[in-house]
């Protein structure tokens, strides 16, 4: 069984985001980038399927600029067998990513596709669902547990009311939640081995995908600055401020 995992290069979650002076976007120049944390979970799950002999090959796919090769190398060091980079300088959005992945899946013919449930830069949480719709495959989103059984996969999902288990017939699309697993650190020997693994290059044009944007970014602004706290002398003054300033009580 071949497993395909989609990964995204994002600003590292430890970096404090800065807005460009013209408010056109966030600042990415000289900013540390890394793999989207939810995608790390997806790669880890794929590697565990390899280790359990449930999968025979793990392919990591990334869509974006040439620097995404670094992100793919990280996936290869974690245990992926090979990588595919769909190189484009355009700002990719969920629908176009889903279209590119669909074209690659039709070529690679994987049995299982795993994605992070969302990227921490745009928080769209749309690509997995759009991909499943384009392919006509069953989907299990927000997975906290995955169990393969012959040509079926049971996915435990985290929903508002608790946990829900869905049984999907393969091939299927799964998106990962935080509690699915704990991603491993790539060891130095595996990092060295990753340098020798293959990364295939392609473009949206070669895949026959139109990357015309369907979304328009108007402005990026930081959240409002939180004001300083106020010390009150007694409960009466506190209640009065809650009534007059915060307007949380009448």
Question: What is the pTM assigned to this prediction?
Answer: 0.85
Helix (H, G, I), strand (E, B) or coil at 9: strand
Per-residue confidence (pLDDT) for residue 228, from 0 to 100: 80
What share of the chain has pLDDT > 90, as a percent? 68
**Domain residue limits, the chain:** 2-223
| Confidence at 250, pLDDT banded by 50, 70, 90 | low
What's the Cα-to-Cα distance from 85 to each of 54, 194, 245, rounded to whole Å?
Answer: 25, 15, 54
Per-residue confidence (pLDDT) for residue 216, from 0 to 100: 86
| List of residues 6+ apart from 196 with CB closer than 8 A | none
Q: Tens of pLDDT along 168-211?
A: 999 999 999 999 999 999 889 999 999 999 999 999 999 999 99
Residue pointed to by tokens 């990964």? 7
Q: Distance of alpha carbon 197 from its chain centroid, rounded?
A: 23
Answer for the pair 195, 186: CB distance below 8 angstroms, yes or no.
Answer: no
Q: Tens of pLDDT along 7-55?
A: 999 999 888 888 888 888 888 888 899 999 999 999 999 999 999 999 9
Rounded to whole angstroms, how far apart are CA atoms 198 and 201?
10
**φ and ψ of 126, to 5 deg:** -125, -25
| Confidence at 130, pLDDT banded by 50, 70, 90 | very high
Rounded to whole angstroms, how far apart are CA atoms 204 and 196?
25
CATH architecture of 2-223: 3-Layer(aba) Sandwich (3.40)
């Amino acid at each position: 069984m071949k497993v395909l995992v989609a990964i995204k290069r994002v600003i590292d979650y430890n970096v404090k985001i800065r807005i460009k002076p013209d408010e056109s976007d966030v600042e990415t120049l000289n900013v540390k980038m890394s793999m989207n944390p939810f995608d790390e979970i997806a790669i880890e799950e794929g590697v565990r399927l390899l280790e359990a002999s449930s999968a025979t090959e793990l392919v990591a796919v990334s869509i974006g600029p040439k620097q995404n090769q670094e992100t793919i190398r990280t996936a290869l060091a974690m245990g992926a067998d090979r990588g595919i980079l769909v190189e484009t300088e355009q700002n990719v959005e969920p629908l176009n990513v889903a279209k590119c992945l669909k074209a690659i899946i039709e070529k690679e013919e994987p049995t299982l596709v795993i994605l992070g449930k969302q990227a921490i830069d745009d928080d769209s949480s749309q690509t997995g669902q759009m991909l499943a719709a384009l392919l006509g495959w069953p989907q299990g989103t927000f997975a906290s547990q995955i169990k393969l059984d012959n040509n079926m996969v049971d996915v435990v999902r985290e929903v508002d009311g608790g946990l829900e288990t869905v049984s999907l017939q393969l091939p299927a699309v799964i998106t990962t939640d935080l509690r699915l697993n704990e991603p491993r650190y790539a060891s130095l020997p595996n990092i060295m081995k990753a340098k020798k693994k293959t990364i295939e290059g392609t473009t949206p044009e070669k895949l026959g995908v139109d990357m015309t944007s369907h979304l328009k970014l108007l402005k990026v602004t930081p959240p409002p600055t939180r004001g300083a706290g106020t010390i009150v002398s007694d409960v009466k003054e506190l209640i009065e401020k809650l009534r007059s300033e915060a307007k949380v009580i009448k």
